[in-house]
Homo-oligomer: A and B are copies of this chain.
Amino acid sequence: MTSLARTETAAHDRPDLSPSVAARQACRTGMAATTAGVANGFVQGNLAILPEKLASAFHRFCQLNPKPCPIIGMSDVGDPRIPALGLDLDIRTDLPRYRVWRDGELVDEPTDIMAHWRDDLVAFVIGCSYSFEEALLADGLPIRHIEQNIRVPMYRTNVACKPAGPFAGPMVVSMRPFKPADAIRAVQVTSRFPSVHGAPVHIGHPNSIGIADINKPDYGDAVPVGADELPVFWACGVTPQSVIAAAKVPFAITHSPGLMLVTDLLNKDLAVL
């Protein structure tokens, strides 16, 4: 840990600290709020930590379901670092808040997981919609829940993920309403970012993916959909968390929804074209 400690000290001394390094630094020293709007331009990620015994099945699950579960980084077994996402990154301390699961039950929501860390744990970082929302906003497309300063509405669908080992369950989607021409543009813009959920998975007919009432999301907050708008649905990074809870695995750790890992990757670098 000597090198990590040295980085932290150096960081404190530098006012020109990168916003992503500063965000992780803040988490280490007690920041426990949403990371929405933090370190704009930098990729944020969903977190899933599993014992090695379950990690390969979960890795396969992500491989089979890349739209809800695009992996943007992984740790080695027992190693809390993921240098590809940040040289100083320590997955045990660098998120604002965590969720600790035992047998499918949420047992703790600590601000660090030093006390829960084990030598057999593997950390997965999964792409997040904040990245493609930045691209939508940069393109001039209005995002309703951001305008209203609430959470994006999310829904469990009747679309089954491809199962792997104990991991199975429905895809969770997030919804953003758009005027039709903007919906078409949103398909184009988000298609460039497959590692952060990519193009929408559905548009216009919530019933046909098992959403009974668009005004009653399963997670997040409801947003109004205008009569001249279409609800547009993207695969959501809540899916892996939902699947891990449903699998009732003996032990797992995830991030607290909306309180993500801030990485050193740049959103713009995720564009495939």
Contact = CB atoms under 8 A, between A and B. Distances in A.
Interface string A189-212: 001000000011111110010000
Contacts of A238: none
A212 B200 CA distance: 28
- How many chain copies? 2
A7 B145 CA distance: 64
A138 interface: no
Given A187-B187, A187-B188, A230 B202 contact: no
A10 interface: no
Nearest to A273: B273
A1 interface: no
Contacts of A200: 184
A67 to B, nearest CB: 11
Contact of A188 (B199, B201, B203, B205): B199
A183 interface: yes
A230 B180 CA distance: 11
A181 interface: yes
B205 A180 contact: yes
Interface residues of A, number: 18
A236 to B, nearest CB: 16
Contacts of A203: 180, 183-184, 203-204, 230
Interface in A131-160: none
A205 B228 contact: yes
Given A183-B204, A184-B200, A184-B202, 12 more contacts: A180-B202, A180-B205, A181-B201, A184-B199, A184-B203, A187-B188, A188-B188, A203-B203, A203-B204, A204-B204, A205-B230, A208-B228
11 contacts: A180-B202, A181-B201, A184-B187, A187-B187, A187-B188, A188-B188, A188-B191, A188-B199, A204-B204, A208-B228, A273-B273
